[in-house]
Structure 1
Amino acid sequence: MADAAAGMDLGHGVALLAAAVVAVPIFRKLGLGSVLGYLAAGLAIGPFGLRLFADPEAILHFAELGVVLFLFLIGLEMRPARLWSLRKEIFGLGATQVLACCALLSGIALLAGLPWQAAVIGASGFVLSSTAVIMKMLDEQGETATEAGQRAISILLLEDIAVVPLLALVAVLAAASGYADADARPAWQALAVAAGCIAVVVAAGKWLLNPFFRVLARSGAREIMTAAALLVVLGTALFMQWGGLSMAMGAFLAGVLLSESVFRHQLEADIEPFRGILLGLFFLSVGMSLDVAVVVAEWGLVVAGLAAFMVAKAAGIYLVARLFRAPPREAVQRAALFAQGGEFAFVLYGAATAAGVMAPRVGALMSAVVILSMAVTPLVVILLNRLMPPPKVSMDGVEAPDGLEGRVLLIGFGRFAQVVSQPLLAKGFEISLIESDVEMIRAAGSFGFKVYYGDGTRLDVLRASGAERAEAILVCVDKPDAADRIVELVKAEFPLAKVYARAYDRGHSMRLVQAGVDFQIRETFESAIKMGRHVLHGLGVDEAEAAEIIQDVRERDNERFQLQLTGGLAAGRYLMRGNMPTPTPEPFSVPRRGGEALNPEAAEALAQRKAGRVPHKAK
């Protein structure tokens, strides 16, 4: 029986992984995001799909650890000084949004005929947005560290803090209705315990955690450091849950307290693998938890409730955002992102149902509305991003090119081009600079550069920038596709100009050579060569031998590049030195066609090697 149970558990694990591996790539390929993929996969294998799982609630409780670990990693990036700077957003913006939306949704629930107690609790649960959904979407869009993303995190933190008073409210309403739990703490005591738990965690983080990890680091056992990281995160989360706060809040606080620790990066590396898997498991379990029978039986109420609550909450969020002077675009995006209910609603509705404040049927309907709202949100955000016009960029102080006449036209003015421009300016050449990043143009202006706004992939911009009169055109943009397009235009329209291009990698270098540029260079090649030379010096190799070694590296790289131009990226592989004990043997001859070498230069170089005229390796 034990073996059978173990096999059943293993089978469940395989089913979960298989569902995620199949669904998530498909949904991402369709542009629908991974969250919706996980939810759909959970619905497919849950009690109302293939029925592979009979108790999704048990998985949901375990999978909440994914949210906990996610919040811990966010906390590691949020130093105490940064958190303190967000206090107005947390307790001002966050509190205003929660109270305003709670009032709106309570009014809608009352109009729908719910008792006022159930209306308030139902609204309160839906007001607390899904931390998991929002953080996952912010993370996928790369907006976690932006100012708008930081404000979103501030609101989520306030919502986590709101857990304590809302649970206390359930106890108060239960007592007023005659359903008081004799074991429940009084409201004042619950608040005091929560505050005490926060104080204990802060004190431990300040005086205990660094010495604790320092002692463990001396042991040299990496797996013990990983275990300790998980112990700190999960222990803090469990302690905060005991104090009446959410586990996510506890994990976030632990991350903040360790954000200035010397072990921060190691902790982040240790936790990251667990976070992704458990967060996906959380979304799978939410999808399984959708009671399809309730949705089918009461579909009219569910759809009406879903639409009414999401629209009303989005309207409230937008008004609050504008009240706090958020730009219209950010206000709309925040309204779409926060319009759903969250995972804490399940806890709140469960407590309210157990306390008699909410009828079981109402609790089931509200839970279905919350789950559907979590599934709809990614679709709403995707649709909104496609319909909204691109953000307007202020062009104050930025000029478009018009009749520029520099001998050199430099396209793209990032960190690469800034260095390239220095010897030209030192010689006194007149340079015309264009760039498509407005912030970069403004930043360059503060350092004494006159940079014009222009997209080098457009022929009219190139003409206005003086490409017809320029003797040299330097393509220094950091996107390979854009560089290819610019080179194509310049070679076709301005054939007298010499073209110098920055290459992203080896494949891009090959494309640029085939396009006919006069010179190309991989953006990291020279810096890597120079660093290798300094390392040789640092390891005791004398100057002459180091120069010989570096020259051999250059010649091998050039020889391999010439072979790749005709034979593709796999050609000339034998010219790269590896660290495996058995090196790849060199061919006895260069590949030929019809008696002629495909690359005469490479053939000659190989002949010289064999004759001993070019050193293979340092003597």
Structure 2
Amino acid sequence: METLTVILLLLGASVLSVVVFRRLNLPPILGYLLVGTLIGPKALNLLAGLSGAHYLAEFGVVFLMFSIGLEFSLSKLYAMKRIVFGLGFLQVMATLATVTAAAAATGLSWQAGVAIGGALAMSSTAVLTKLLSERIELDAPHGREVMGVLLFQDIAVVPLLILVPSFSQSPEQMAIAMGIAMLKAIALLAPVFLLGKRLLSKWFFFVAHGKSAELFVLNVLFVTLGLAWLTEAFGLSMALGAFVAGMLISETEFRHQVEADIMPFRDVLLGLFFVTVGMMLDVTLVLANWPWVLGVLAALLLVKFLLVFGLSRLFGALSGAAMRSGLWLCAGGEFGFVLLADVSTNAVAPPPVVQIVLAALVISMLLAPFIVQYSDRLVLRFTASEWLMRSLHLTNLAARTLSVDKHAVICGFGRSGQYLARFMADEGVRYIALDLDPDRVRQAAAAGENVVYGDATRREMLLAAGVGRARVLVVSFIDARAAERVLRLVRELAPGLPVVVRTFDEKDLGRLQRAGAAEVVPETLEASMMLASHALIHAGVPINRVLRQIRQTRAARYRTLRGFFHGESDHDDNVHDSEAPCLRSVSLHDGAYAIGKTLSQLAVNEQEVEVVAVRRRNIRTLEPSGGTRFEIDDVVVLLGVPGALVKAEGRLLKG
């Protein structure tokens, strides 16, 4: 019962801390570390009787290495080989050499220097990839460098996890142990790599034919833990076996399903691992050595920044991109904690040193999101060439759009953006597209598309694209946070410009509309309507009824499709219907009854008519509220059936 109480306290504290850290937009890893510190032997010591916690937590590392193996793609490595095995390799080796030299200068052994250097060389794959994705910078020059270096760091963890435990032995014993480990690895992994992919593909195909989700998950666990057990039985690391299992499965067609199935196990057990890492932290010892902690923290951030910056410049990057790469990669990462746990377990370095390095890593991960957030300002502040290049780029973009008026600005030139551009071109609507993938921009521009490299979430880029003269702006990528930033800038730069935003489903509908989107288009809704229309037609429903149903659904869902302005040609097009809702514009000239009164006072909406928009000084305001007060020369857009519209117009003009 006592053990159950402790586990419940552990789970409750973990849930609470992770919720708080997510609300603060900080990595949840830090929440787990905080929980571990509080319940650890140096604080409340709640897990004193729970001997299996550390062993269970090891499986968190096993599943983490498995998921890294799933991302390990030979084609990806080949495509990024220059960054991965050039910049990434040199960054890890330079950090190891620098920390080893510093350790020797302070009286530590070279083994401790290499082990701690390996821990400090790591950056956070989880945090940085998430930030790159949110900021739409995965395809930016610094984004590619960051991803390449992170990929090599993930690979480098595997030999380091094998190497660190041998450091507790004498140099002669270590050399023998490493030689034996190398032979064992070759003897075990050679047949696994030669036969594993073919056998695993057939085995997974056989299991998948069972059409059972739980059977598939059990099989994933069996393969992962089976290879981890096999490598441990050979005297190697369990993490190595899990990494190999991930690599083999990544080459099969079941990779994405496996990744989705394994994620809950990985995240829960990895959280438990970071709790055990937090238990290692002795707050009293850290506070007693706080100058050393701050010194190690400052050295970590400065040295890694300078190393990455210098190496990036050596590989031909411009100073701005090199500086961004250095700022992104200078903080520590989760694999640093994994290696420090091995350092502590095998007593490779003195406990006070481990505590100081551990505290510095935790603080650096806390600082990482803030460093990334201010990286652009720092680059512009200290890199003169960045100002010049950005000015030239903006000047060229502005020159291309200077003669363009009433055009469309397309943010994102992926598949959706390209389809949209073709529709625009077919209808004779000029457009300018902004995209952050340099390869895509180069190829599309060479084919004659009006697309330029640029970040739509930057004020100066939108100004150069001519948002002040544009007729519409479309956010064609799916990223609610980035779309909100674009909407905020558009509200400042061109308040009357309608913005259409693409989103995956309707969960972000409310906040995007509140941010100022004229329309939000969910992919799931459109896909469902198309599926329904085809299915109903094949089910024998007349096509005119299907089209009417789709039209009514869209009209109810999309504000800008609710009704239309009637004209004489509507009779010829067979679209006139006396009971169908339509739109009507009413101009409030001097003397109109509605001038000076609010929408609530006029009670127009109570007459089966809706005021959908008000145009004032050529600026359209969607969804006017009850407190909207009408002024001279306002244009009121009404939606309703023809008979009700006549009454509402009379109410506005005559009272």
Normalising to structure 2: TM-score of the pair? Answer: 0.68
- In the TM superposition, residue 410 of structure 1 has moved relative to its aligned partner by 1.0
Larger RCO, structure (CA 8 Å, separation 6 or more):
1
SS of the residue corresponding to residue 67 of structure 2 reads: helix
Which residue in 1 is equivalent to 2:361? 374
- In the TM superposition, residue 230 of structure 1 has moved relative to its aligned partner by 0.9
Which residue in 2 is equivalent to 1:226? 217
What does 1:42-57 align with in structure 2 at a 5 Å threshold? Answer: 42-54=36-48
| Segment drifting more, 307-316 vs 134-143 | 307-316
SS of the residue corresponding to residue 400 of structure 1 reads: helix
Among candidates 150, 154, 161, match of residue 152 of structure 1: 150
- Alignment of 1:41 with 2:35, yes or no, is yes
AA at the equivalent of 1:399: L
SS of the residue corresponding to residue 476 of structure 1 reads: strand
| Segment drifting more, 269-278 vs 595-604 | 595-604
Among candidates 277, 281, 290, match of residue 290 of structure 1: 281
Q: How many residues align?
A: 541
Root-mean-square deviation (Å): 4.7
Quote the Cα distance in structure 2 between the aligned partners of 1:466 and 1:211. 55
- Alignment of 1:555 with 2:556, yes or no, is no
- In the TM superposition, residue 193 of structure 1 has moved relative to its aligned partner by 0.9
AA at the equivalent of 2:159: I
Query: 2:120 touches 2:361 (CA, 8 Å); kept in 1?
Result: yes
Which residue in 1 is equivalent to 2:247? 256
- In the TM superposition, residue 123 of structure 1 has moved relative to its aligned partner by 0.8
- Alignment of 1:63 with 2:54, yes or no, is no
| Distance 1:600-1:514 versus aligned 2 partners, 3 A rule | farther
Among candidates 197, 204, 210, match of residue 206 of structure 1: 197
AA at the equivalent of 1:334: L
Query: 1:441 touches 1:451 (CA, 8 Å); kept in 2?
Result: yes
AA at the equivalent of 2:449: F
- In the TM superposition, residue 378 of structure 1 has moved relative to its aligned partner by 0.9
SS of the residue corresponding to residue 49 of structure 1 reads: coil
- In the TM superposition, residue 213 of structure 1 has moved relative to its aligned partner by 2.0
SS of the residue corresponding to residue 398 of structure 2 reads: coil
What does 1:91-490 align with in structure 2 at a 5 Å threshold? Answer: 93=87, 96-114=90-108, 119-129=109-119, 134-142=124-132, 147=144, 148-168=146-166, 170-173=168-171, 175=173, 186-295=177-286, 319-320=310-311, 322-325=313-316, 327-337=322-332, 341-351=336-346, 353=347, 363-390=350-377, 398-401=396-399, 404-406=402-404, 408-412=406-410, 414=413, 418-422=418-422, 425-426=425-426, 429=428, 431=430, 433=432, 435=434, 439=438, 442-451=442-451, 465=466, 473-478=471-476, 479=483, 482-483=486-487, 486=490
Query: 2:285 touches 2:352 (CA, 8 Å); kept in 1?
Result: yes
- In the TM superposition, residue 189 of structure 1 has moved relative to its aligned partner by 2.0
SS of the residue corresponding to residue 41 of structure 2 reads: coil
- In the TM superposition, residue 311 of structure 1 has moved relative to its aligned partner by 5.5
Which residue in 2 is equivalent to 1:598? 606
AA at the equivalent of 1:433: I
Identity %: 25
| Distance 1:528-1:447 versus aligned 2 partners, 3 A rule | farther
Quote the Cα distance in structure 2 between the aligned partners of 1:58 and 1:310. 36
Note the alpha carbon deviations across 1:533-560, whole angstroms, 9 max, x for none: 22333x4425xx1330331343255357
SS of the residue corresponding to residue 598 of structure 1 reads: helix
SS of the residue corresponding to residue 220 of structure 1 reads: coil
Identify unmatched segments of 5+ residues in structure 1: 1-6, 493-498, 566-591, 608-619
Quote the Cα distance in structure 2 between the aligned partners of 1:489 and 1:460. 11
- In the TM superposition, residue 287 of structure 1 has moved relative to its aligned partner by 0.7
Among candidates 543, 546, 551, match of residue 546 of structure 1: 543
AA at the equivalent of 2:372: N
- In the TM superposition, residue 259 of structure 1 has moved relative to its aligned partner by 1.2
Which residue in 2 is equivalent to 1:29? 23
Note the alpha carbon deviations across 1:183-237, whole angstroms, 9 max, x for none: x964422221122222243235223212222232233332222111011112222
Query: 1:71 touches 1:252 (CA, 8 Å); kept in 2?
Result: yes
| Distance 1:386-1:451 versus aligned 2 partners, 3 A rule | closer
AA at the equivalent of 1:217: A
AA at the equivalent of 1:53: L
| Distance 1:554-1:598 versus aligned 2 partners, 3 A rule | farther
| Distance 1:280-1:523 versus aligned 2 partners, 3 A rule | closer
Normalising to structure 1: TM-score of the pair? Answer: 0.72
- Alignment of 1:502 with 2:500, yes or no, is yes
- In the TM superposition, residue 375 of structure 1 has moved relative to its aligned partner by 0.9
Quote the Cα distance in structure 2 between the aligned partners of 1:312 and 1:238. 38
Query: 1:102 touches 1:123 (CA, 8 Å); kept in 2?
Result: yes
| Distance 1:39-1:75 versus aligned 2 partners, 3 A rule | same
| Distance 1:100-1:457 versus aligned 2 partners, 3 A rule | closer
Query: 2:408 touches 2:472 (CA, 8 Å); kept in 1?
Result: yes
Identify unmatched segments of 5+ residues in structure 2: 380-385, 477-482, 563-599, 611-638, 644-655
| Distance 1:267-1:502 versus aligned 2 partners, 3 A rule | same
Query: 2:196 touches 2:248 (CA, 8 Å); kept in 1?
Result: yes
